[in-house]
C-alpha cells in the first residue's frame, strides 16, 4: 500500500507528485460543503441587500438633494467603478496569496459606507459613501466566488447559483425594505441596517476559518490545473471577448431596470414611489429565481446552452415591454428576470473552466466587468433619459439582448478533469 502523502504547506516549495494530486483531488471534491455554501449565500444576501438600498432610495435622494438623472447615474457609476476596477486586482493578489479573513474586512468597508450614507449631507459625501460600499464589494464577490468553488464538491454550477441567489434575494429585499422603512422615515434610518453588516462580519469570520484550513489544498489544485491541456491562446482570447459582449448586453439592460424601473413606472403609469418599489421587488425576485435555476441546469445540459438561451431568449419579451400596459409590464419583467438571470452563473463557471487554475482572477474580472457595465450603463442611460425621456430609453434598450447571437461562436468545453 503506498504511503499516504499530505499536501505541502503554502509556505514551502515541496514538489507535488501525480499520486498526491490524484489523492487530493479525490478527497477534496467528493462532497459539496453545503453549510459553507449556505453561509456564503446568507452573507451575499446581507451584502447585496445593503447595496440595493442605494438605488432603492434614489427617489428620496433626488428630492432631498435636488439631483437630476445624470447625477443619479454618477452615484451608480461611482459605486460600480470602485467595485469593478478593484475586483480583478483582488483576484490576482489572492490567487497567489490567499487571505481567508479578507471577506470580513471587506464587509467592514460596506458597513462604513452604509453609515456614511445615512448621514451624508452633500452630493460629494453621497459619492464617497457609494465608493466605500463599492470597495466592500470588490473584496466580497471574487473571494466569495472562490470559496463557493472550493466548497462545490465538483458541482460548480450549483455552488455558484446557491452563492449568487443569496445576492439576488438580498437585492430584491432591499427595495421592499426601502419602501417600508427608509422612504417613510428618511435617510437616517439607513443606519439601522448596520446590524445586517455586523451579522455578515461574524459569519464571514467563521467562513474565513474554514477557508484557512483549505489553503494548503489550493496549492495542490493549482499544480493539478497546470497539467490540464489548454485551448489555443487565440481561442481563449476570442471567447473571453464574446463573454464580455454578453455581459455588456445583460448588464446594460439590467441597469435600465434596476436603476430606472421605478421612474419608468412613475412616469408612464403614474404609480406612487412606494408602489413602484413593490414592482421592482417582484422583478428582482424573478431575477433571484432565475439565478438559482441557471447553475444546476448548466451542470446538467452544458453551460453554453444556458448562456445561449438566456441572453438571446429574452429578446422577444424585451421588445414587447415598451408597448405593454402596467399589468403586462409586470408580467414581462418577471419573465425577463427569470430568463436573463440564469446566464451569469453559467458564464462564471464557463470562464473558470476556460482558464483553469485562475479562479480568483476570473471571478474578479467577470464580477468587476459586470459591475462596471452596470455602472456605465446607469450613467449613460441616465444622461440619455435627461435628453430623450425614460420611455424612449426603454425602447432602445429592448434590442440589447440581440447581442446574444454571439453565443453561437462559444466553443463547447469538455468537463474539466480537475475541480479547481
Lowest mean pLDDT among 49-53, 197-201, 364-368: 364-368
Name the pLDDT band for 219 (thresholds 50, 70, 90). low
Cα–Cα distance for residue pair 67/140, rounded to 1 Å: 30
Name the pLDDT band for 218 (thresholds 50, 70, 90). low
Q: How confident is the model at residue 321, as a pLDDT?
A: 94
Name the pLDDT band for 353 (thresholds 50, 70, 90). confident
The stretch 38-47 carries a mean pLDDT of 93
Hey, what's the cell of 78?
461611482
Q: How confident is the model at residue 11, as a pLDDT?
A: 35
Using DSSP's 3-state secondary structure scheme, residue 370 falls into: helix
Q: How confident is the model at residue 386, as a pLDDT?
A: 87
Residues 6+ positions from 51 with CB-CB distance below 8 Å: 79, 110, 133, 137, 170, 171, 174
225: number of Cβ within 10 Å: 20
The 10s digit of each residue's pLDDT in 282-309 is: 887 788 788 878 778 887 888 888 888 8
The stretch 91-111 carries a mean pLDDT of 87
CATH of 30-409, one of 3.30.160.270, 3.90.320.10, 1.20.1250.20, 1.10.10.10: 1.20.1250.20
Cα–Cα distance for residue pair 420/152, rounded to 1 Å: 10
Name the pLDDT band for 88 (thresholds 50, 70, 90). confident
Cα–Cα distance for residue pair 260/208, rounded to 1 Å: 37
Distance from first CA to last CA of the chain, Å, rounded?
28
Residues 6+ positions from 221 with CB-CB distance below 8 Å: 24, 25, 28, 357, 418, 419, 420
Cα–Cα distance for residue pair 79/65, rounded to 1 Å: 18
The stretch 75-97 carries a mean pLDDT of 80
Residue 280 has pLDDT above 70, yes or no: yes
Q: What is the rounded (10 degree) CA torsion for 39, 45, 47, 48? A: 150
Q: Considering only residues 19 and 306, tell me which one the structure prediction assigns the higher pLDDT.
A: 306
Cα–Cα distance for residue pair 163/142, rounded to 1 Å: 12
Residues 6+ positions from 193 with CB-CB distance below 8 Å: 49, 50, 53, 114, 177
The 10s digit of each residue's pLDDT in 368-399 is: 787 678 778 877 888 888 889 888 989 999 99
Question: Dihedral of CA 207/208/212/218: which sign?
Answer: positive
The 10s digit of each residue's pLDDT in 139-181 is: 888 888 889 888 888 788 888 888 888 887 887 788 788 888 8
The 10s digit of each residue's pLDDT in 26-38 is: 344 448 888 999 9
CA–CA distance from 392 to each of 193, 260, 382, 395 (Å)?
36, 12, 12, 5
Hey, what's the cell of 316?
422577444
CB-facing half-sphere around the CA of 111: CA atoms within 13 A: 16
Instruction: Tell me 13's DSSP state.
Output: -
Residue 354 has pLDDT above 70, yes or no: yes
Name the pLDDT band for 221 (thresholds 50, 70, 90). low
Hey, what's the cell of 189?
434610518
386: number of Cβ within 10 Å: 16
Using DSSP's 3-state secondary structure scheme, residue 68 falls into: coil
Cα–Cα distance for residue pair 166/49, rounded to 1 Å: 9
Contact yes or no for 203/86 (Cβ under 8 A): no
Cα–Cα distance for residue pair 311/309, rounded to 1 Å: 6
Hey, what's the cell of 376?
456605465
Question: Dihedral of CA 198/199/200/205: which sign?
Answer: positive
Residue 104 has pLDDT above 90, yes or no: yes
The 10s digit of each residue's pLDDT in 52-70 is: 888 888 888 888 888 888 8
Q: Which residue has the cell 486586482?
A: 89
Cα–Cα distance for residue pair 317/339, rounded to 1 Å: 10
**pLDDT, averaged across the chain:** 81
Q: How confident is the model at residue 322, as a pLDDT?
A: 93
Q: How confident is the model at residue 68, as a pLDDT?
A: 83
Hey, what's the cell of 102?
479578507
Cα–Cα distance for residue pair 380/167, rounded to 1 Å: 25
State CA 69 to chain mean position distance: 24
The stretch 179-205 carries a mean pLDDT of 91
For the chain, the structural domain boundaries read 30-409
Amino acid at each position: 500500500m503506498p504511503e499516504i502523502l499530505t499536501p505541502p504547506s503554502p509556505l514551502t516549495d515541496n514538489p507535488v507528485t501525480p499520486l498526491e494530486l490524484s489523492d487530493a483531488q479525490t478527497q477534496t471534491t467528493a462532497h459539496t460543503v453545503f453549510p459553507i455554501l449556505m453561509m456564503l449565500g446568507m452573507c451575499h444576501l446581507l451584502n447585496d441587500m445593503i447595496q440595493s438600498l442605494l438605488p432603492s432610495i434614489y427617489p428620496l435622494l433626488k428630492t432631498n438633494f435636488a439631483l437630476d438623472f445624470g447625477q443619479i447615474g454618477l452615484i451608480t457609476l461611482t459605486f460600480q467603478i470602485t467595485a469593478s476596477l478593484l475586483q480583478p486586482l483582488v483576484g490576482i493578489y489572492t490567487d497567489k496569496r490567499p487571505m481567508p479573513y479578507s471577506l470580513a474586512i471587506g464587509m467592514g468597508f460596506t458597513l462604513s459606507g452604509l453609515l456614511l450614507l445615512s448621514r451624508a449631507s452633500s452630493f460629494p459625501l453621497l459619492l464617497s459613501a457609494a465608493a466605500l460600499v463599492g470597495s466592500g464589494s470588490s473584496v466580497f464577490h471574487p473571494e466569495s466566488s472562490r470559496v463557493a468553488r472550493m466548497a462545490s464538491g465538483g458541482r460548480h454550477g450549483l455552488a455558484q447559483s446557491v452563492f449568487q441567489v443569496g445576492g439576488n434575494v438580498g437585492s430584491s429585499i432591499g427595495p421592499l425594505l426601502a419602501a417600508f422603512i427608509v422612504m417613510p422615515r428618511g435617510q437616517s434610518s439607513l443606519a439601522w441596517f448596520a446590524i445586517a453588516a455586523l451579522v455578515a462580519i461574524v459569519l464571514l469570520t467563521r467562513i474565513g476559518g474554514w477557508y484557512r484550513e483549505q489553503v494548503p489544498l489550493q496549492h495542490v489544485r493549482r499544480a493539478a490545473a497546470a497539467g490540464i491541456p489548454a485551448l489555443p491562446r487565440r481561442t481563449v482570447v476570442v471567447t473571453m471577448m464574446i463573454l464580455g459582449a454578453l455581459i455588456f448586453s445583460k448588464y446594460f439592460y439590467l441597469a435600465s431596470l434596476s436603476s430606472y424601473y421605478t421612474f419608468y413606472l412613475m412616469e408612464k403609469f403614474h404609480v406612487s414611489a412606494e408602489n413602484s418599489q413593490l414592482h421592482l421587488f417582484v422583478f428582482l425576485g424573478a431575477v433571484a429565481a432565475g439565478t438559482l435555476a441557471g447553475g444546476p441546469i448548466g451542470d446538467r445540459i452544458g453551460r453554453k446552452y444556458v448562456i445561449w438561451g438566456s441572453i438571446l431568449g429574452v429578446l422577444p419579451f424585451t421588445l414587447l415591454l415598451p408597448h405593454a400596459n402596467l399589468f403586462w409590464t409586470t408580467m414581462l419583467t418577471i419573465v425577463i428576470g427569470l430568463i436573463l438571470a440564469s446566464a451569469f452563473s453559467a458564464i462564471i463557471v464557463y470562464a473558470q473552466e476556460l482558464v483553469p487554475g485562475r479562479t480568483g482572477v476570473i471571478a474578479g474580472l467577470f464580477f468587476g466587468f459586470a459591475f462596471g457595465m452596470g455602472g456605465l450603463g446607469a450613467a449613460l442611460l441616465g444622461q440619455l433619459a435627461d435628453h430623450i425621456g425614460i420611455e424612449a430609453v426603454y425602447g432602445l434598450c429592448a434590442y440589447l439582448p440581440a447581442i446574444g447571437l454571439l453565443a453561437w461562436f462559444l466553443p463547447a468545453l469538455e468537463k474539466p478533469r480537475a475541480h479547481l
